[in-house]
Structure 1
Amino acid sequence: MIWTRARSTPILVIRLLMAAVFTFYGCVKLFGGQFYYGDWDGLAKSEVSGTSLVWLFYGYSPFYGRVTGLFELVPAVMLLFRRTTFVGAGALFVVGLNITLMDFAFGYPFVKYMAALYTVLCGTLVLHDRDRLREVFADPVR
């Protein structure tokens, strides 16, 4: 009993931390705080840094920005419930992998390492439920 509790406490902390992080970022995107949804007139590529240009591009479509927020927020809420943790963690692992790839590809500063950490933590949650993962990929004939 004590060993089970000792193993589950770090997982609970990771679940709550990832739920908080992705809820925050999802809400920021939903309410229009991360991407630039303004007027593009007068913006010159030579005057904007590469990382800012990425936010400008993603903000070109407010619909896209809001949907990416939902793709972070909904799985983050799923982490709060034990029955949906596996699906939420799997979804956030994929979302985190995309964010990490984007951050490294476009040369974001320190935040790329945080994104990588969040991806690893979500992967840890998925691997913690490896029995469910085996069920997903199991041969139905066997």
Structure 2
Amino acid sequence: MRTRSVPPRLITAVRLLLFAVFAGYGTIKLLGGQYDYGDWVISNRTQDGTSVVWAFYGYSPVYGRFTGLYELVPALLLLSRRTATLGALALFAVSLNITVMDFAYGYPMVKYFSLAYTLLCLFLVAQDRDRLLAAFWHRPERDGGKAH
């Protein structure tokens, strides 16, 4: 096992920051906020990309709230050291999708925040790269390399 050059307190601070951000957004979505629910008429010719996206996600209240689970559940996983890597991997996928969407649909400044959160998730994943490699790609030698 290699030694870390990153202070453990920094890793904990990043985990807590990402927990706060994604738990907050996830909770807002679960409570019915953020998306445009209800009756509306919208056209991509008269509305900006942000409004079209919010209307699309809000078209189905079930789906809109389900996206809240995508953020809340992995955020909760960040609170435990045992599950933090899984939470960081899941949030990396979620935040990468959000970042691409934010840039593709011309969101204002928030797109830079989502990019920062994506990079912070990647930072957490990189801190556990040895564990991930050992778990998924490196096969431990057992009994002199013989399979049973």
Using the size of structure 1 for normalisation, the TM-score is 0.89
Gaps in structure 1 of 5+ consecutive residues = none
Structure 1 residues 52 and 78 mapped into 2: Cα distance closer, same or farther (>3 Å)?
same
- Aligned position for 2:115: 116
Aligned-partner SS, 1:55: helix
**1:70: how far off?**
0.2
- Aligned position for 2:36: 36
Structure 1 residues 58 and 87 mapped into 2: Cα distance closer, same or farther (>3 Å)?
same
Question: What pairs with 1:1-142 in structure 2 (closer than 5 Å)?
Answer: 7-40=7-40, 43-45=41-43, 46-140=45-139
| Residue type of the alignment partner of 2:73 | V
Counterpart Cα distance in 2 of 1:83 and 1:141:
21
Counterpart Cα distance in 2 of 1:91 and 1:132:
16
Q: By percentage of residues, which structure has more helix?
A: 1
**1:4: how far off?**
6.7
Q: Are the aligned partners of 2:36 and 2:55 in contact in 1 as well (CA < 8 Å)?
A: yes
Q: Are the aligned partners of 1:34 and 1:55 in contact in 2 as well (CA < 8 Å)?
A: yes
Counterpart Cα distance in 1 of 2:55 and 2:63:
12
Using the size of structure 2 for normalisation, the TM-score is 0.86
- Aligned position for 2:144: none
Gaps in structure 2 of 5+ consecutive residues = 142-148
Aligned-partner SS, 1:36: coil
- The runs of 4+ residues in structure 1 deviating greater than 2 Å are 3-6, 46-50, 139-142
Larger CA Rg, structure 1 vs 2: 2
Alpha-carbon displacement from aligned partner over 1:40-81 (angstroms, at most 9, x marks no partner): 2xx242443221111001100111111110010000011001
